[in-house]
Amino acid sequence: MDTLLQQVVNAISLGAIYSLFALGYSLVFSILGVLNLAHSAIFMSGAFFGVLAVNQLGTPLWLAFILAMVGAGLLSVTLEFVAFRPLRRRNAPRIAQLISSIGAAILIVNIGQLIFLQQFGRTEAYFPRELVSLDPIIIESLSIRIAPIRMIIVVVSLLLTILMQYLVGRTQIGQHMRAVAFNQQTAALLGINVSRIFVFAFFLAGVFGGAAGMFYGVVFLNVTPFIGEDVALIGLTAIVLGGMGSIQGAVLGGYLVAGLQVISVVLGGSSYRNAVVFLLLFAILLVRPQGLLGQSESTRA
């Protein structure tokens, strides 16, 4: 059953989630020039809102998905107001914003933990199996099994990625976002409402992070307050690999990291799966910090 092709299929569905997650990181970084380390907490919140909606409200999966995306988006906007805007007002150094985002991440994860305990009695919750898993589609001639939900995930995440690409590349608000990313002051002088663009970017990043979290929860069925930690560094690796602040780079990076993980599981066992990713992160930072598709830092900053 575990043929190479099967592993490729697994890698693609995992890569879809990673790239969706990395997109949010990348969007905020390209527009604000700040790394939002609380993005992994947003990811967790997406899965959490989804599991809450399914279990406590009894909503169907698609509605839970939308609720998760909107909830995570709003939480992300809250972050912008609480953790980033006051520091930007003061012209605080980038490190200060990094620290406040770490603080926000810890805060959200721990509040999540408290709510988990209150709602479910422990720090773990499950998507009901019958809601999620239909019979896997088995392709006999290639001997691979695909769970339908994984196919849906890949398709939806591709659609979302294309939507993002369209939004940033073709619409007016995307043009404004690119202008702000290029130079905030010039953009402001040209009449762009910079803080509204920031709010929008955070909302979009939150929506993508929340969708990724929801998918992650659906694929692995169980949700804990700590699932953000699983992907925090993987997402960072993806955007560093693809080039910080590049949308195509984030998507490419997400799939590459997933592929690498699956290959290292096949070759060396699952305990080295993350070590390989972090060694890659290290190597990329040292050899080509601008990533595969990124520009060099001097032209960016």
Partner 1 sequence: MDALINGLIEILKPIGITEPVFQFMLVNAILGVSIYLTLYCGLFSLANAGFMAIGAYVGVILTQSFDLPLFGALLGGMIAAGLIAIPIGIPTLRLRDIYLAIATIGFGEIVRIMILNFDDFVGSILTLVQGERVRFTLIEGARGIKGIPKLTESWHLILFLLILMFFLTRLHHSRLGRAMTAIRQDEIAAASMGINVVYVKNVVFIMSAILAGAAGVFSGHLTRIVTPQAFGFDKTVDILAFAVLGGTSTWFGPIVGGLVLTALPESLRFLKEYRGVFTGLVLLVVIVYLPGGLINTTSWSKFIRRFTNRPESPPDENSGHSTTRAN
Q: Which residues bind partner 1 (CB under 8 A)?
A: 34-35, 82-83, 86-96, 98-100, 102-111, 113-114, 184-185, 188-189, 193-195, 198, 229, 232-233, 236-237, 240, 271-272, 274-275, 278-279, 281-282, 285-286, 289, 297
Residue closer to partner 1 (CB basis): 45 or 237: 237
Distance, CA of 17 to CA of 251 (rounded, Å): 10
CA-only gyration radius of the chain, Å: 19
Q: Which residues contact 296 (CB under 8 A, 6 or more apart)?
A: 290
Q: What angle do CA 72, 77, 79 make, to 5 degrees?
A: 95
Least distance (Å) between residue 65 CB and partner 1: 28
Please report how close the Cβ of residue 99 comes to partner 1 at its closest, in angstroms.
5
**Which amino acid is present at 214?**
M
* E strands present in the chain: 125-126, 137-139, 144-146, 222-223
Nearer to partner 1, 9 or 181 (CB): 181
For the bound state, the minimum distance from the C-beta of residue 212 to partner 1, rounded and expressed in Å, comes to 19
b/e for 121-149, b at 16 or more Cβ within 10 A? eeeebebeeeebbeeeeeeeeeebbbbeb
Nearer to partner 1, 62 or 278 (CB): 278
Q: Which is nearer to partner 1, 149 or 291 (CB)?
A: 291
In order, the DSSP letters of 99-128 are HHHHHHHHHHHHHHHHHHHHHHSSS-EE--
Which residue type occupies 79? L
Residue closer to partner 1, measured from CB, 97 or 161: 97
Q: Nearest approach, Cβ of 289 to partner 1 (angstroms)?
A: 6
Check if the beta carbon of residue 258 is closer than 8 Å to that of residue 14.
yes
Q: Which CB, 91 or 141, lies closer to partner 1? A: 91
Q: Considering beta carbons, is residue 91 or 299 the nearer one to partner 1?
A: 91
Is residue 112 within 8 Å of residue 104, measured between CB atoms?
A: no
The span from the first CA to the last CA of the chain, in angstroms, equals: 49
CB of 4 to partner 1, least distance (A): 24
* Least distance to partner 1, CB of residue 266, Å: 17
The smaller minimum CB distance to partner 1, of residues 1 and 95, is found at 95
The CA distance from 165 to 252, in Å, is: 13
Q: How far is the CB of 268 from partner 1 (least distance, A)?
A: 10
CB of 286 to partner 1, least distance (A): 5
CB of 179 within 8 A of CB of 188?
no
